[in-house]
Structure 1
Amino acid sequence: MSVKFIGYIGFNNSSEVDQGTRNRALDLDYVRNALRVQEEGGFDRVLIPFGSNTPESQIVAAYGAALTTRLGFLVAHRPGFTQPTLAARQLSTLDQLSNGRIAVHIITGGADEEMARDGDVGTTKAERYARSDEYLDVLRQEWQADAPFDHDGRFYRIRKAQSAIKPEHLPVFFGGTSPEAIEVAGRHADVYATWGETLSATRETIRRVRASAARYGRSPGFSLSLRPVIAATEEEAWRKAASIVERVREARIRQGLPIRDHAPPNDGSRRLLETASALRQDERLWTGVAQLTGAAGNSTGLVGTPEQVAEAMLEYYRLGVDHFLIRGFDPLGDAEIYGRDLLPVVREKIAAYDALQSVQAG
């Protein structure tokens, strides 16, 4: 395997520690600086997130692609609000304009309240995964068909569709740990994306996805999302993590948000909340923010020196993780630190491990 690093470009330099304190929903200075820092720092891609009240991810990715030359983009995209044939052409166009630097992260949506903000009212989670499954069938057919095609499904009816523009290679990322999600991932994911759980839980998730994919003759990659906290010494890194927890607590109190909300809406958050039953798991998996937020999204991290965190990431790589999506609680500052101090060490360790495996296999 080879390892890939995915950064993150939100739309302003805020996070859980100061959410709500920025007035600008789209801060162009931040976006430009985040693009520069992560391209110069050696990230392979950056995730552009999707939300029901945020700037539109594909447009931000197009803007970013115009300002960079090497950096790739993982565009979060939610099925159900755009016809799959149109989405296929939009993504293909973006892929060609960026010279092949686009991947798409399919976000099915687990929270009924957020889905309703865009008019998706009354659908169940199982229905949404069934819709994503069919959506991806049509999306890939639009990308691949050499002749006009028809489609008659539960959610979409299409007549004589054919796209003049196609991507050369546009990877599909997909996440979710419910049985429905694992089934769809097995059929469609080029890369399966999951949050930072324990090594044993990650091993089991990889096993489930591989078993699902094998039924379709497929072998996906795996992406793990983490929030690394690094410092010159281990003691300093854990003090920094404790400070982040207190800052998140204060921010949630200011905003009137619940502390330790134990009713997450989706299976992935429920699993992550189980991981957060202890502040520290394995040797350095840290769950402090996940505990406070009810595991709302990517909220677990690895804590230590760059060498220690890199060694922990190597353990996930040994399980089959070949993509790491990493972002910090100081988005811009942490991205610069990761590019300078963490990514080179991880790459060095993984290269040494791969070389040893090659020698042993030969």
Structure 2
Amino acid sequence: MTCDRRGSPMPIELRSRLQIASAPIGDPATVVQRRATSSGNWSVRNSTNVETVLTAAREQEEIGYDGVLVAERSGWPDVYAQSAWVLANTRRLKTVSAHRIGRQSPTTVARLAQTMDMLSGGRFIHHFITGHNEVDQQRDGDFIDKSRRYARANEFLELYVRELTATEPFDFEGEFYRVKGAMSGVGNHSTPYPEISWAGSSPQALEVAAAWADTFSLPATSVADTLEVTSRVRALAESKARTLRFWYNANQIVAETDERARGIAEGIVRELETRADLLRLDIERPESVSRRKIYDRAREGDWVDGSLFLGLARVTGVESVPAFVGSPQTVANAMLEHYRNGVEIFGLDPTAYTQEEFELKRELLTLLRAGAAEIDAERAASVPA
């Protein structure tokens, strides 16, 4: 069992993603076709409305998720507006609100976080990103190259945290930001301030994570690759007298049997390979380090560790997240292997295309919590009295 930032024990944490589209794009007849349409048009999403947001948030809270990722991309609905709706209309659910650094000043963003944190009773988490696609960055006016974006992110977070914690006015002058007499009057509900989440796998990104993040977001990769990254990040954080939690993000394709689930996954790929009209993506080859690694690994084979499916990454350039595939028990076992290795938080795909799949995903959450509790008990029993 892991601990929160105050040292209190924490169980496994399960997060989903807020669905901003009320249904897959178009209305193909079969489940495989509907999945292929959604996967192929990942970067082309519907707009949002009150009913869509509230239905998704309340449903995910009722199923038992601990939080929802509110994702960010140019052309998508505003993250903070959606997060506010979710927090105001749920009681327990957290929002993990993505913020692409560079669009707003650090002090402004810090007070925004504090306000959301205070109004929600501590249910707001900030997930910072630098952007993985130059084309998408430029749509919103950001023309700084990737290496400079990491330098900017480090400076942003330094000033951001200082605004969250300062008790006296302060000045700051860096390469990217300058303030004079800054100090927030909002305060923090969370201790010591709202949780900072971070994503990025390049050497520069790992340094930023070690310095500032409370949670490090991991892409869906093999057990061995995940262990390699978590070991590096832990060592970097320990060198700065810090600790982090790890958040593993994957999709899940579940069915009553492993064979049926694998048939669905492989059928989606076949559908995409014969439907060029579905692949309306920005780029074929990803720019970020983690996405490139997934893409390159997918070209070597569609399956990793038995049940992690990379086929969609191969045909979409990892615009589709790799998926654990199988029965609820098979998928739970695969995910819990990462829990045994120190991953505390798991991102899950909330999409269900049939009522049967909806119930199977509910079963998956139950199995994950029960399995994690067993692992926690085993660990506790092995600790000398």
Q: What's the TM-score bracket when you normalise by the shorter of the two chains?
A: over 0.9
**Post-superposition offset of 1:67:** 1.1
Q: Give, in whole Å, the separation in 1 of the partners of 2:363 and 2:279.
A: 36
Match of 2:224 in 1: 200
Question: Do the aligned partners of 2:121 and 2:189 also contact (CA within 8 Å) in 1?
Answer: no
Amino acid at match of 2:142: D
Q: Give, in whole Å, the separation in 2 of the partners of 1:74 and 1:345.
A: 23
Q: Give, in whole Å, the separation in 2 of the partners of 1:108 and 1:178.
A: 11
**Post-superposition offset of 1:17:** 2.9
Question: Do the aligned partners of 2:54 and 2:85 also contact (CA within 8 Å) in 1?
Answer: no
Which of residues 327, 330, 340 in structure 1 aligns to 2:362?
A: 340
Q: Give, in whole Å, the separation in 2 of the partners of 1:81 and 1:294.
A: 26
Question: Do the aligned partners of 1:259 and 1:292 also contact (CA within 8 Å) in 2?
Answer: no
SS in structure 2 at match of 1:104:
strand
Correspondence list, 1:1-362, <5 A: 1=2, 2-12=11-21, 13-14=23-24, 17-19=36-38, 24-121=46-143, 123-169=144-190, 170-249=194-273, 253-255=276-278, 257=280, 261=284, 263-276=285-298, 277-296=300-319, 299-327=321-349, 330=352, 336-337=358-359, 340-362=362-384
SS in structure 1 at match of 2:125:
strand
**Post-superposition offset of 1:295:** 1.5
Question: Do the aligned partners of 2:308 and 2:323 also contact (CA within 8 Å) in 1?
Answer: yes
**Post-superposition offset of 1:256:** 5.4
Deviations 1:285-319 (A, max 9, x none): 111111111112x5111111111111111100111
Instruction: Please report the RMSD computed on the Cα atoms of aligned residues, expressed in angstroms.
Output: 2.3
Q: 1:334 to 1:258 in 2, by over 3 A?
A: farther
**Post-superposition offset of 1:260:** 10
Question: Do the aligned partners of 1:177 and 1:267 also contact (CA within 8 Å) in 2?
Answer: yes
Q: 1:340 to 1:43 in 2, by over 3 A?
A: same
Deviations 1:65-116 (A, max 9, x none): 1111111100000111101100011111111111110001001112111111
Question: Do the aligned partners of 2:172 and 2:180 also contact (CA within 8 Å) in 1?
Answer: yes
Amino acid at match of 1:52: S
Moved over 6 A (4+): 331-335
Give the paired residue count: 358
**Post-superposition offset of 1:29:** 2.7
Deviations 1:146-195 (A, max 9, x none): 11111111110110111111223211110111111011011011000011
Q: Give, in whole Å, the separation in 2 of the partners of 1:334 and 1:209.
A: 39
Amino acid at match of 1:143: L
Q: Give, in whole Å, the separation in 1 of the partners of 2:187 and 2:355.
A: 37
SS in structure 2 at match of 1:10:
coil
Amino acid at match of 1:203: L
SS in structure 1 at match of 2:37:
coil
SS in structure 2 at match of 1:223:
strand
Amino acid at match of 2:183: Q
Question: % of aligned pairs identical?
Answer: 31
Q: Runs of 5+ in structure 2 lacking a partner?
A: 3-10, 26-34
